[in-house]
Structure 1
Amino acid sequence: MLIRTGKIAAMLCLVTILISFGVTGAEAGTKAVHEGRVVLKMNDYFIIYTYPKGPYIDENNRLIIPLRSVSDLLGADVAYDGPTRTATVTLDGHTVQITIGSYTAFVDGEPVEMDTMAVLESGSMLVPARIIFDSFDFKVELNAHGVVCIRDERLYTKEFVRELSRGELLYPNPAEDGQRHGTDFFYRHLASMDYFGWLYLKELNVFQPLSYRVVFEEIKDDEYYKVLTSASYMIKNISGKEIAKGNEDFFISYYTMASDYFGTRDNSTLGEKSDLRSRTASTKDEIIIVNEEVKTRQKIKYILAIGRTILMPNEIREYQLK
């Protein structure tokens, strides 16, 4: 088992990530711990954490997600009526109504029985995902690791989610790859800069996150940063082959309550300066532990990750000539 550790400070006003070897000036304050299996994937991105609770499987073996994420991640319009404790979800001309504590939902006005129910936790409504997916015709598959996987262009409706598919991580030959993989593979967001230029995508769906443990801790004595996030992710090489040193890029992105985005990018990921972030080699089916510390000005609302590989400088020219 390999362990990769990084410590990150995020300057959200500049959307800049700084890597350091320690976080100082943090005094223990309010602390919240979230941990569990990774159970949801939307297009190429694993949904690791959603406020106030990450997607999880309940006692009835059903996927439960926060109501907020139905709007932010699925692109639906959501309204909540406090007195009746009922949520109304609208998408593509269809409507679903779900009430906390009830096994009956209403789809376009017709009652539909569920085998689990919505609950209230930390002041937020958590809803059964299946009634949402089925009612709005999201195609769902279960992968070999028990992860619910959805692929749908509607998942890119919201602006901050669209950014995940159009950013700065380039293919060596974008025009060719756009034809080969489709437009949503044309460019990849969540890029890193290194001293040699942009990073280039090599392969998607290489690493599968299995579980996570995230600790949010209030910072008392820092004038700028207010929240320290300490995270540990267990990931598995599912490529069926060995990954050479320097190619691994399990990229984790974070969104705050203000929908500010930042990712674990750094300024020295390749070549001589690679000591600040270790991109270790991994054998087929090997488990890797990724540890990070992130400082932000606001609470974290979402943690998403993509398990990919990047090209080393000596591979880029070879790839372009294919």
Structure 2
Amino acid sequence: MDIVIATLTSPVILFFILGMLAASARSDLAIPEAIAKGLSLYLMAAIGLKGGVAVSESGFTPELALAAAAGVALSFVIPYLAYPLLTGFGKLDRINAGAVSAHYGSVSVVTFVTAQEIFTGQSMGPAGYMVAVLALMETPAIISGLMLARRGQKRDDGNGGGLLHEVLLNASVVLLMGSFFIGLMAGPVGFEPIAPLFQVPFTGVLCFFLLDMGLVAARRLIESKSMTVRLAALGILFPLFNGVVGTVLGTAIGLDVGSAAALGVLGASASYIAVPAAMRMALPEADPGLYLSMSLGVTFPFNIILGIPLFAALAQAIG
């Protein structure tokens, strides 16, 4: 209960709730798109740099290797678990079920950044190498989702090279991994001159970004014409199940409490940046309004408000 109260009274979460309430009330409050993109770039660069610096201090450890293996396995397997529910209970066709399942196997950078900030404030900050795990988990789910969506197809559309480029070189992967390796090479001494830019303003920037995310999530949900009660229920069931599995798995392989909770958050989160970009190229016939409404309109708010404290409490209980 203390974790839940601390999360719900955090300015970061309150700004997100403010955005959702404002959009639901049809307010004209908005963050200009160029500014929102700049905030996103800043957050990814900052989290990558700090993760790289942390790994440079601790070195490459067995825990890092185990966490990376667990994260990649989760990302690849989760779409195969989600797909039958999406086609059966959710009544989706093969293409849309494959596209949605890929979103749930991949990860949300903003959900992870928010969880990291909250966990750190509660003295259970995850290890720096979890940033590398985050980056590694973006791609395997896209492969799984496409394999599921294209089952039974006899021909290739010739777009494989373009898709591979889109998956491996999309902005979030390049900036996260690039800044991670910069932090790794610079170390604490090299990071010190730029620390005032990437540490002090971080929480304030995250507040503004989550205000925008609250606005976007609520408006996406209001405008959606594809969302059903069954799909909304799956949008909550998936993060609950995946987050519990990720947290238990993280604890089982020996991660500290914060890192195990972070692995749970990664398992629970759903992509709304990298995977939509890949799906637009590989599965143009899939409905963007459907997979974005589920990942951004249902799962993202659930994780930000309830999922993060839930997985933190679970990690503390079993850790």
Output the TM-score relative to the length of structure 1.
0.27
Output the TM-score relative to the length of structure 2.
0.27
The higher-RCO structure (CA 8 Å, 6+ apart) is 2
Structure whose residues are more often helix by fraction = 2
